[in-house]
Amino acid sequence: MLISVLQSNGVDILGYLTTEELQEIKKVSLFFNEVVDSILMWRVLFSSISGALKGYNPSPQAAKDVRVRTIKSRPESSTKPKPKSISIREEKCPKQWFFIPPDLEEKLKLITINRASVVRKDPNFSGRCFEVLETWASLLVSTLKEIKEKEIRGEDTDPKSIILYWKDKSKILSEIMEELNDICIAKLDSIFVDTPSHKKFISAINKLKKEYEEAREMWKYAAKIEVNLVKVVDVKTAYKFGKSLIESLEKAKESCKYFNEKRILDIIGSICYQFFQILEKQIDFNELFKSEREISLKKIKQAKLFSTWIIDSKLLNSSSSHLVRPSTSYATEKNQPRPTTPSLGAGVIKSQNFLTSNLLYLVTVLNDLHSMVSSFSQIKEIENPSKKTVEFITLYEKIPIEFSIWSSENSILWARLVHAFKDGLNKLQKTPLVKNHESSGESEEDLDESIVAPSWNVR
């Protein structure tokens, strides 16, 4: 019965059998010898063609000449073919840092590990590879040196530039590290291990890893500093986000070993320098006396709090607080000018004490301003003021100061100004603050005692 089935449908069945099964069929029935031999022959032929064509890519012209008729079902009219999505990751980006000549790269791709000792003995091949390794080493060393030299140092700069430097450095070194994950670079590394050229390359790689680790850690904490730093644009925002900014700086100093004392001083110095510029633009001496008392005092208080937060933080050594005393205490001592402290704009900050003394000077000025504005506002509230009172008010509302009150280089000038204010206020309080209606005019004695606007810019 089995034979009858094979005779009726055998040709269809034989195509699904394995080679071993076909050999067994030949032993059972001679009827299928020719058919089985034919099937086995075509199988060998097709396997040979398949092996020969493996990895073969025909030219575009050859592909055009070949036409293959296939049966395709017609798509339904209601459905539209989906557009092919293009992935950016599929596009292979060219190497930017570790260039390999194309012909050498093709050879490296074909080399296997068991042939490493053979190709290493080829002088032409190994000579080119040594040249590539030394070029890479030289490029890495020069690139790292150039990036390091561009590190932002000193306080007279925008603090955001310091943050941006670590962001860019981390990104650049990360791209270089990613390019190292290449099969051809790995082969060069294993084939020419311990050769002089290889040692130069490995030395450069070790420097790269060290610099990358530093940049990655610095940017990790610098990014958190940046979140609050970009929000500080005026006195109000300095007060609002100041504590969070200082806390992020303290965290960086405690947790990141690369945030050393010098770098902390650089960024704190640049923040203070920027804050001084904000004060120059937003707190004008005359405007403080012209504005409403509450508005002026609020600005002064906010600026003072921001300064004291930095002084009292873990970022600076608060033991230097004895370097500056209130300006009024020096102003009352004749021939005893207040000692000057280095200006933030003079150059790179060299110690914590220099920065702290500038901040303390700032607090001193703000304390003086608070006292002056409070006293002045009481004078302004007088109805029908006398001529001396009007002159006193005009002096501080309209006569501009021709030096920066925020620079500690002008500390002596500021001390004299505070002393003059206090002295003028005392003289004014000894005379009538309102007009004398019984007198038709001022006496000669009153005119002699009239307040004369001082020359603020005299040094």
DSSP 3-state assignment of 434? strand
Burial 56-95 (b: 16+ CB within 10 A, else e): eeeeeeeeeeeeeeeeeeeeeeeeeeeeeeeeeeeeeeee
Q: Would you say residue 212 has pLDDT above 80?
A: yes
**What is the pLDDT of the chain when averaged over all its residues?**
76
The answer to which of 19-23, 24-28, 68-72 has the lowest mean pLDDT is 68-72
Question: What is the rounded CA–CA span in Å between residue 431 and residue 391?
Answer: 13
Q: Which long-range contacts (CB under 8 A, 24 or more apart) does 399-405 make?
A: 399/286, 399/453, 399/456, 400/285, 400/286, 400/456, 401/285, 401/286, 401/456, 401/457, 402/456, 402/457, 403/456, 403/457, 404/280, 405/285, 405/365
CA distances from 83 to 89, 92, 168, 204, 415 (A): 18, 22, 37, 46, 77
Question: What is the rounded CA–CA span in Å between residue 303 and residue 280?
Answer: 12
Question: What is the rounded CA–CA span in Å between residue 363 and residue 311?
Answer: 10
pLDDT tens column, 146-202: 999 988 776 667 888 899 999 999 999 999 999 999 999 999 988 898 899 999 999
Question: What is the rounded CA–CA span in Å between residue 42 and residue 122?
Answer: 44
Q: Is the pTM of this model over 0.85?
A: no
Contact 245, 232 (CB under 8 A): yes
Mean pLDDT in residue range 10-21: 68
**What integer pLDDT is reported at residue 81 of this predicted model?**
46
What's the pLDDT band for 13 if we cut at 50, 70, 90? low
DSSP 3-state assignment of 385? strand
